[in-house]
A and B are shown apart, each in its own frame.
Chain A
Amino acid sequence: MRKLPVYLVLDTSGSMHGEPIEAVKNGVQVLVSTLRQDPYALETAHLSIITFDERAKQVSPLTELSMFQLPSLTANGTTCLGAALSLLAERIEAEVHKSTAEKKGDWRPLVFIMTDGAPTDNWERGLEDFRKTKCAMVVACAAGQSAQTKVLKKITDTVVSLDTADSMTIKAFFKWVSASVSFGSQKVESTHQEIAGMSELPPPPPEVNIVL
């Protein structure tokens, strides 16, 4: 079975404390229970969650949707985006299988990065590691006014922003992520092609702005 790996890379720094982190938790839960009802996603999509604050941590290893269990998320500390990118690269290398003569490899991963602030570590070094991995699609989300879209633009072309990091807006973002994973799963299953750009994702809701 060729799995479609989905990595959620989530900022759990102190500024996410309170409403934002609760909204993220809720968003992930809704995402998982929605995708479980989608036959394409249930069979192909695998989900992992990497959080970053003072350090980066893979709180959920890449797990098939049916076996996925919600990790506990708490927000405090700084914003080590660079460490998160390095860890992401390392995990993709370890968890996503490459094609061999006897076995078709996994689909290239879909990555969703969400942050609400400026990175506090050497993010360029993390980016260097991350550039070595091959992903089908990387979406970076700047949540709220303090997030730095300029930094995110260096990581990926596909950057979206949320005007505020309140629960309604974050919820809308996760709904869109969920729909994107559905699209991606359906595409690989039906056409054997990967999602190749923003234009192939479902149109984002009004709360999610595309950063040009």
Chain B
Amino acid sequence: MNFNDIVPYLDPADKEESLKEFFGREDIKSFLSEKWKEYTDTEVTLPKDTDEQPLSVQPEEIQTVTNPETPVDMPFIPSIPDDEETRARYQSLFSETRHEMFSRKLKGTHIQFQNGKVNQPYQMLLDVMDLGMPEVGRLEFIGLNEIGLNFNPETCLVEGIPTTSGDFKIKLQCYLQDWKEGDPVFEKPVTLIINPDPRALWNSIPTPEDIPYYKPDSDCKYVKIGRTKGFLGMGAENRKDMVAASQRGRSHAHEGKPRDDDFSIIHNDNTEWYTAIVADGAGSAEYSRKGSEIACRTVSEVCDTHLTKYSKEIDELIKDFDRDNSDSKRKKLGDALYNILGSAVFKAYKNIEQEAVGNDAQLKDYSTTLLVALSKKYKFGWFVATFWVGDGGIGIYNKETGYLKIMGEPDGGDFAGQTRFLTMGEVMQPTEIYKRLRFEIVEDFTALVLMTDGVTDPKFETDSNLQKPEKWDALWKDITSKVELTDDNEASAQQLLKWLDFWSPGNHDDRTIAIIY
């Protein structure tokens, strides 16, 4: 067969049908396979620039080249022409695989932002080398600016101060080395979590004023005790003042629930007795806010009445005890205090019981702790008597001498299991009341402090820490840095109330503190 036989089928074009028919012919098939065999068996020839060759050329016109390095019985692999067009074509093929490879790699690379917090500086290193992607020339992030962050390509740092909280989808864009217009940009969504400021999550809902036993969400008081008169202006001296504040806890404010704590501070100008009381109504008891209020008011009133009535007798017993520290003198003074403070406490218990009966409620619905301190200055020093039931703390603290006396034991602490309340019958047994009475004569003190557990929990954490002078030093430093506890400074009541708002994660109970200083 002659090649010329084929030519009419090919030229002119537009003969698709007949072409198919032609190549389907048995003789053509066998001819072609014969020719192919011939071709592969003889010296390898390569048509040059086939694209440009007219198909009508004669076989003898085709120039042949010999590839000396290729053995004749091996299939021939044509070498890639080294012209610009071919190079360009192969280059694009090559970069396509490079792109595919990178795309796969990016998909498989775990990229995670560390979590941030609103209003707190954020910084995270995002280095392509660390990520194992050295082929990346440039990184960009879409969505960072909106939340107050940006990426610094020089330092590879994502930094800034996040302005909003939430789970954000940030789009990471990778530009490969030698990137030019038209090249693909590789993207990967990465989640960035910005936590809200915990402080912003706490609502402050005012307590509805129409609830039974409503009481204001905060309270504070200052009792100013002027200078002693002295003799013709001589020898006049400053006297200690009293300040107290009570603040509803965040956990109550969050739900519009009332403050359960209460306090009472009074100074009797005639007897010169100081009385300071704090009480913490149990969170689980429905009317505990009333229980703490009744306790504070009753004890304060009853003590004042008794101390006025028996002022001289008590003075004598205390002076006696100062002179003679014997057990018998101690017992005498203790008995007298039991009759004053103990009976005041018992009266508080009875008053709460009466309130509960009147309100058709149970005594335990009014559960409250109670911490009382009575104090008076004598020539030989300060006399302090206390009664303490429940958690919280009473301490006599002297910054100068490092003296610290904790006036009892917090029951319901770490190991006792259950908190004791004034409203428990077993606490009102005479021996139990007696056990909870303490008294002491000290030369002087920087402060006599009474606190509910809303203050002791964050500031001391454990019962054991409550006994540590360094913890008290820290507390005192903290208070006096915010509250000007100078003589007769009535503004300190508001300052103390403001101080009570200190932030301590996980501690959002009502807080009450009373200080004689």
Report which of A36, A40, A193 forms a contact with B195, defined as CB distance below 8 A: A36
> Using a Cβ–Cβ cut-off of 8 Å, how many residues does chain B contribute to the interface with A?
29
Contact between B464 and A104, CB atoms less than 8 A apart? no
A191 within 8 A of B: yes
A132 within 8 A of B: no
B254 within 8 A of A: yes
**How many Å lie between the Cα of A39 and that of B196 in the bound state?**
9
A95 within 8 A of B: no
Contacts of B462 in A (CB 8 A): 99-104
Report which of B201, B465, B509 forms a contact with A39, defined as CB distance below 8 A: B201
Interface string of A48-67 (1 = CB under 8 A from B): 00000000000000000111
Closest to A32 in B: B193
Closest to B507 in A: A189
Contact between B254 and A39, CB atoms less than 8 A apart? yes
Least CB distance, A73 to chain B, in whole angstroms? 14
Report which of A33, A102, A190 forms a contact with B465, defined as CB distance below 8 A: A102
Given known A39-B202, A43-B506, A104-B461, contact A66–B117 (CB-CB < 8 A): yes
B414 within 8 A of A: yes
Beyond A66-B195, A104-B461, A186-B251: 9 further Cβ-contacts under 8 Å?
A: A36-B195, A38-B201, A44-B505, A67-B115, A99-B462, A101-B464, A102-B464, A190-B509, A191-B283
Contacts of A103 in B (CB 8 A): 461-462
**How many Å lie between the Cα of A69 and that of B192 in the bound state?**
10
Contact between A1 and B115, CB atoms less than 8 A apart? no
Contact between B196 and A42, CB atoms less than 8 A apart? yes
Closest to B412 in A: A192
Interface string of B146-170 (1 = CB under 8 A from A): 0000000000000000000101000
Contacts of A100 in B (CB 8 A): 462
A98-113 residues at the B interface, CB under 8 angstroms: 99-104
Closest to A40 in B: B251
Least CB distance, B161 to chain A, in whole angstroms? 16
**Most chain-A CB neighbours within 10 Å: which of B115, B117, B506?**
B506
A199 within 8 A of B: no
**How many Å lie between the Cα of A43 and that of B462 in the bound state?**
19
Least CB distance, A66 to chain B, in whole angstroms? 4
**How many Å lie between the Cα of A37 and that of B283 in the bound state?**
24
Contact between A190 and B201, CB atoms less than 8 A apart? no
**How many Å lie between the Cα of A104 and that of B507 in the bound state?**
13
Pairs A–B under 8 Å by Cβ, sample size 6: A36-B193, A42-B198, A102-B464, A103-B462, A190-B509, A191-B284
**How many Å lie between the Cα of A44 and that of B251 in the bound state?**
13
A2 within 8 A of B: yes
Q: How many A-B residue pairs have CB under 8 A?
A: 67
A176 within 8 A of B: no
Least CB distance, B36 to chain A, in whole angstroms? 53
Chain A, interface size: which category?
A: 20 to 34
B interface residues with partner A (beta carbon < 8 Å): 112, 114-115, 117, 165, 167, 191, 193, 195-196, 198, 201-202, 250-251, 254, 283-284, 414, 461-465, 505-509
Least CB distance, A163 to chain B, in whole angstroms? 31
Contact between A68 and B202, CB atoms less than 8 A apart? no
Q: Is the interface of B mostly helix, strand, loop or mixed?
A: loop
Contacts of B414 in A (CB 8 A): 99, 104
A interface residues with partner B (beta carbon < 8 Å): 1-2, 33, 36-40, 42-44, 65-70, 99-104, 186, 189-191, 193
Closest to B471 in A: A102
Contact between A190 and B506, CB atoms less than 8 A apart? no
Contacts of A38 in B (CB 8 A): 201
Given known A104-B461, A191-B283, contact A2–B196 (CB-CB < 8 A): no
Contacts of B461 in A (CB 8 A): 102-104
**Most chain-B CB neighbours within 10 Å: which of A33, A36, A99, A104?**
A36
Least CB distance, A35 to chain B, in whole angstroms? 11
Contact between B115 and A2, CB atoms less than 8 A apart? no
Closest to B415 in A: A99
Contact between B508 and A189, CB atoms less than 8 A apart? yes
Contact between B251 and A69, CB atoms less than 8 A apart? no
**Most chain-A CB neighbours within 10 Å: which of B167, B250, B464, B505?**
B505
Report which of B115, B201, B284, B506 forms a contact with A189, defined as CB distance below 8 A: B506
Closest to B458 in A: A1
Contacts of B284 in A (CB 8 A): 191, 193
**How many Å lie between the Cα of A193 and that of B418 in the bound state?**
10
Least CB distance, B93 to chain A, in whole angstroms? 35
Least CB distance, A134 to chain B, in whole angstroms? 15
**How many Å lie between the Cα of A186 and that of B202 in the bound state?**
12
Contacts of A189 in B (CB 8 A): 251, 506-508
**How many Å lie between the Cα of A174 and that of B69 in the bound state?**
71
Contacts of A69 in B (CB 8 A): 112, 114-115, 193
Contact between A43 and B167, CB atoms less than 8 A apart? no
6 closest A-B pairs by CB: A39-B201, A101-B464, A66-B195, A43-B505, A190-B251, A191-B283
Contacts of A102 in B (CB 8 A): 461-462, 464-465
Given known A37-B201, A191-B284, contact A1–B506 (CB-CB < 8 A): yes
Contact between A66 and B115, CB atoms less than 8 A apart? yes
Contacts of B165 in A (CB 8 A): 36
**How many Å lie between the Cα of A99 and that of B463 in the bound state?**
12
Least CB distance, A24 to chain B, in whole angstroms? 18
Report which of A1, A36, A191 forms a contact with B505, defined as CB distance below 8 A: A1
Least CB distance, A112 to chain B, in whole angstroms? 22
Closest to A190 in B: B251
**Most chain-B CB neighbours within 10 Å: which of A33, A40, A193?**
A40
**How many Å lie between the Cα of A100 and that of B196 in the bound state?**
32
Least CB distance, A107 to chain B, in whole angstroms? 10
Contacts of A33 in B (CB 8 A): 167, 193
**How many Å lie between the Cα of A40 and that of B509 in the bound state?**
12
Contact between B283 and A190, CB atoms less than 8 A apart? yes
Contacts of A42 in B (CB 8 A): 195-196, 198, 201
